[in-house]
Chain A
Amino acid sequence: MWKFMLRRLSYAIVAIFVISLVSFAVIQLPPGDYVTDMINRMRLAGGKLDPEFEQRMREVYGFDQPMIVQYAKWMGNIITRGEFGYSFVYKRDASEMIMERLPTTAVMVLGAVMLTWSIALPLGVYAAVHKYSILDYGAGFIGFFGLAVPSFILAIIVLYFTYRAFGRATIGLFSPEYVDAPWSWNKLLDLLKHMWVPALLAAVTGIGALTQTMRANLLDELNKPYVNTARAKGLSESRLLWKYPVRHALNPFVSTIGWLLPALVAGDVIISIVLNLPTAGSMLYAALLQQDQYVAAGFILLLSTLTVIGTLISDLLLAWLDPRIRLS
């Protein structure tokens, strides 16, 4: 087991290194850089600038050096100083900004995931046991609807209805008076008032896939000979359902826990943009648009690292959950 763990860890480190190289290269691929973006913004506004300024700025920011030198500097700073790189847009280090946005994002995503799972799993089990019942069809309909309609359209619809119903659209995570206020009960209540929108949206869009996967897996399990044997031996229906089939049906979910980690950090980017939520994901999006290269690269590296770690956790969990996997 220890050997297995060590081997997996060394693979992970190599993977992360390769990912860092690739992500840095990919960020550099599109034409132009932060200076281009900054200067274009000015020029579009009508400002006149000499081309020589542009060149000068590049030297100041170090964009004129070859990519490998820039990469080495960036990596060196991460390893020696824990700095992910200077954000040109925010004039600070990228790691600070990511950390600032992490808590809200994580809380939001966790809330959404818990809501989704607590609805989808029981619903999936029920739908499998009561195949072709009204509730099965209903769950299927709502699930597929949520799956089919893009989340941002739903977000716009929700905004519109809250605007029409309450006279104000539920934008952001706080009312204006609480944005910079210190934490208090009222602020928490205000947060909950706003939180339900993204949580609900995430739930509506996520429930469909989860419910159907659960239902299909469980149906497979329920027709297996061991279930019949158990039934023939007179086990109660509920025991029969929960003891093994549900546990086995959970495997696919456990193996996707790994993807939950990066999602916790990033949040749903499109919903964040529409609802104006200060998630880390929307920051990454802005960084990519503005060619704020170190922030973007640092972010992608972080997300990839989390994915690798998450996969590792998933594998260990699976091994714990299902002895059959351990043996193979």
Chain B
Amino acid sequence: MKTVSRRKFLKAAAFAAGTVGLAACATTAPAPTAAPPAPPTEAPKPAEPAAPAEPTKAPEPAAPPSKFNESPMLAEMVKAGKLPPVDQRLPENPQVVTPLVSEGKYGGTLRQGIVGTSVTWGGGLYTVQWENLVQWKPDFSDTEPSLAEKIEISPDGREYTFTLRKGIKWSDGQPFTADDIMFYINDVMFNKELNPGGPGADWLPNSQREGFKAEKVDDQTFKLIFPNPYGTLLYNLATWSGRQFAQYPKHYLQQFHKAYNEKADELAKQEGLENWVQLFFRKGPDTWGNPDRFMDVPEYPSLGPWVVVQPIGSGTTAKFTRNPYYWKVDDKGNQLPYMDEVVVTAYQDPETRALAMLNGDLDFIKDPGEGNRELYFDAMNEGKPISIISRTPDGGNTISIHFNQGSKNPVLREVFQNKDFRIGMSHAINREEIIEVVFKGQGKPAQVAPLESSPLYHEKLANQYLEYDVAKANEHLDKVLPNKDANGMRLGPDGKPFSIIWTCLDQNYTGGDVRSWLQAAELMVGYFKAVGVEVKLDVISDQVLGERRRTNDVDMFIFHGGEGGAGMSAIFDPRWHIPGEYWGFFSHGWSPFLVPSDLTDEEKANFVEPPPRMAEYRKMFEEATQKTTREEQITAMKKVLDASAEEFWVIGVSRPGMGYQPTSKRLVGLPDGAIDGWLPGTHKIMRPEQWFIAEG
């Protein structure tokens, strides 16, 4: 038996104590590991569409043997007369999911652990609920049909015709049809009372709102008609942005909607609310398509593989059971999901959850945390029933450093806008040392850019100004800040000591390893000091950041450099490459002049007008998203990336190494090396519906 050394234990204890002290209910994102990126898993061939079946007739007394198999649990319910037979529950042409590892078996319970109280964001969203019209192929290379079995795109890229699978049903047995989609678009998005500010949805960008319409063709078919070509729509619909199409069961929600129920206002009063609008948001998704209802309200119809039977409430567990109407089958015709139940257990602290995983209390956790990598590998080597698979991070970089070129401080603004300053600062960073110290030797120096494996890979963007060279750094900085004081620290153009406040978040709920950013930032403060630039770290909570955002009070920012790395993702998440995006702090001070904002006039006075070329960049990007063929998209996006390389917006540190994912030994079906990130849907791309319990 391998014992943990005293030092390691103390480190772990200090680590845990630190976590508690920080009150971080944060989970850390998987970060680098040793192995070079594995080749992406073989994409299973898209399933052959089954031969068009005859419409199911009412079953004869002696029903023919059914085309599909079902879980014994459901077979019993059918026998007892509580459920219609499986052929009537499945669509005529169910989605075929080829198992990613091996053919599964029915039964068992997935025990998933989360940190904090949100079943949705703790990882439940990606396991039990989220379904889209189209989904990513398992290797993230492109989209494939999902709820929709056929999508036709007009040659000009303005009209999309979606055909839904015939006979898909919500978890309560009611049909899912074009009416549900129309209800979402016409009665919710475009309802003046629910959305007085006009329609808001991530898949409908501002440039497409004026003149957009949706039309129902028949029960299975609907059209989305856009004013401009919209080539990247399907990418967007395969991500989180497409969630809302499967969130609005009209037959259930219409009782809370004034257009369908005149008494909706009275109903609201009975619930202690003021009007039907509040009632609708309380009973249905919030304005932004909040998926929480699927975790909290058992009677809320769902299209996901598992449906909630016991919400978490103020307890510590939530229970989900299989959706008897789930519309996917494996390649042998077995109705999915394989597992009967999902039980989500909430922990208050990531370290406690890690111990529970080692105890064998859990099968799966999202974001195991870079700090615990050794812990899991040690436990596995000791013979604990744990397996570990690797995951390929979709992110282009571990860390991005932003200088707000629209800073309200004119001195900083002038300096930040000078490219020589940014080049100098980039050369001042000893990336090898950060990789060694912070990322345990995983990864390699790089700027923030699409990955080598991506069709959008841009050599210059990824590799410019990387070498650690103090002389070169000083040479560039001398062009911007030539004067120094007696201690060798640089003076600003105004002759005053030059100093920058560097804002960093103190915690993160998801998708970032703040601890590693802080460790790296501490090192960088030293590197910058060595070239005469004074930087002071200022660690704040995200609420404070929200306030400072509004008054343009963030001059320098550290964040992750993820998203937009793998596959085509840079084209639907261009945050590092064009000005005006929400997390692109390098252009924050210009943002209200580039994109719609909700700032008051008083707040807006703190922002500055950008140089005219910024609007051109945004236009360039918009044009890229309008292209309908992949080649055209790549060519147009490359132009945007050329400009990004020329501008050198953000400084990056390193390409992340491989992430890791611990699971219990009994859980099978998670492919090794699957792309990991928000855009691929974290573990949704590993198809939880085809995971299964191998024994017990």
- Interface 9-residue window, one of A85-93, A126-134, A316-324: A85-93
A64 is an interface residue with CB less than 8 A from chain B: no
**What 1/0 mask marks residues of chain B from 214 to 227 whose CB sits below 8 Å from any chain A CB?**
00000000000000
8 Å CB interface, A80-117 against B? 81, 83, 89-92, 96-98, 100-101
Q: How far is the CB of A52 from chain B (nearest CB, A)?
A: 4
- Chain B interface, >50% SS class: loop
A1 is an interface residue with CB less than 8 A from chain B: no
- Interface 9-residue window, one of B257-265, B346-354, B485-493: B346-354
- Contact of A176 with B111 in the complex, beta carbons under 8 Å: yes
A48 is an interface residue with CB less than 8 A from chain B: yes
Q: How far is the CB of A33 from chain B (nearest CB, A)?
A: 9
**What 1/0 mask marks residues of chain A from 237 to 259 whose CB sits below 8 Å from any chain B CB?**
00000000000000000000000
- Contact of A53 with B287 in the complex, beta carbons under 8 Å: yes
B87 is an interface residue with CB less than 8 A from chain A: no
Check A56/B195 contact, CB under 8 A, given A46-B678, A169-B359, A176-B345.
yes
- Contact of B512 with A44 in the complex, beta carbons under 8 Å: yes
- Interface 9-residue window, one of B57-65, B116-124, B619-627: B116-124
A145 is an interface residue with CB less than 8 A from chain B: no
**What 1/0 mask marks residues of chain A from 37 to 69 whose CB sits below 8 Å from any chain B CB?**
111111111111111111111001000000000
- Contact of A41 with B352 in the complex, beta carbons under 8 Å: no
- Interface 9-residue window, one of A2-10, A190-198, A286-294: A286-294
Specify the chain A residue showing the minimal Cβ separation from B117.
A286
- Contact of B598 with A55 in the complex, beta carbons under 8 Å: yes
Selected contact of A171 from candidates B12, B16, B352, B596, CB within 8 Å: B352
- Chain A interface, >50% SS class: helix
Which residues of A lie under 8 Å from residue B511 when comparing CB positions?
A: 44-46
Selected contact of B117 from candidates A57, A163, A273, A290, CB within 8 Å: A290
B155 is an interface residue with CB less than 8 A from chain A: no
How many interface residues does chain B have, given as a range? 35 or more
- Contact of A286 with B116 in the complex, beta carbons under 8 Å: yes
B41 is an interface residue with CB less than 8 A from chain A: no
Which residues of B lie under 8 Å from residue A276 when comparing CB positions?
A: 316, 347-349, 352-353, 356
Which residues of B lie under 8 Å from residue A278 when comparing CB positions?
A: 314-316
Which residues of A lie under 8 Å from residue B197 when comparing CB positions?
A: 52, 55-56
Count of A interface residues, CB-CB < 8 Å: 69
- Contact of A45 with B13 in the complex, beta carbons under 8 Å: no
Check A160/B352 contact, CB under 8 A, given A100-B313, A291-B543.
no
- Contact of A159 with B287 in the complex, beta carbons under 8 Å: no
Which residues of A lie under 8 Å from residue B562 when comparing CB positions?
A: 46
8 Å CB interface, B640-682 against A? 677-679
Check A47/B16 contact, CB under 8 A, given A52-B197, A172-B316, A276-B348.
no
- Contact of B314 with A100 in the complex, beta carbons under 8 Å: yes
Selected contact of B563 from candidates A46, A156, A163, A274, CB within 8 Å: A46
Which residues of A lie under 8 Å from residue B360 when comparing CB positions?
A: 168
Query: Which residues does B use to contact A, with CB under 8 Å?
Result: 3, 9, 12-13, 16-17, 20, 23, 25, 111, 116-118, 121, 195-197, 200, 202, 240-241, 272, 277-278, 281-282, 286-288, 290, 292, 296-297, 310, 312-317, 319, 345, 347-349, 351-353, 355-356, 358-361, 508-512, 542-544, 546-547, 562-563, 573, 582-583, 596-599, 677-679
16 contacts between A and B (CB under 8 A): A36-B546, A45-B240, A50-B200, A51-B599, A52-B596, A53-B288, A56-B197, A56-B287, A60-B278, A97-B314, A153-B13, A169-B356, A273-B349, A276-B353, A285-B348, A290-B117
Query: Which residues does A use to contact B, with CB under 8 Å?
Result: 30-32, 36-57, 60, 77, 81, 83, 89-92, 96-98, 100-101, 150, 152-153, 156-157, 159-160, 163-164, 167-169, 171-172, 176, 179-180, 270, 272-276, 278, 282-283, 285-286, 289-291
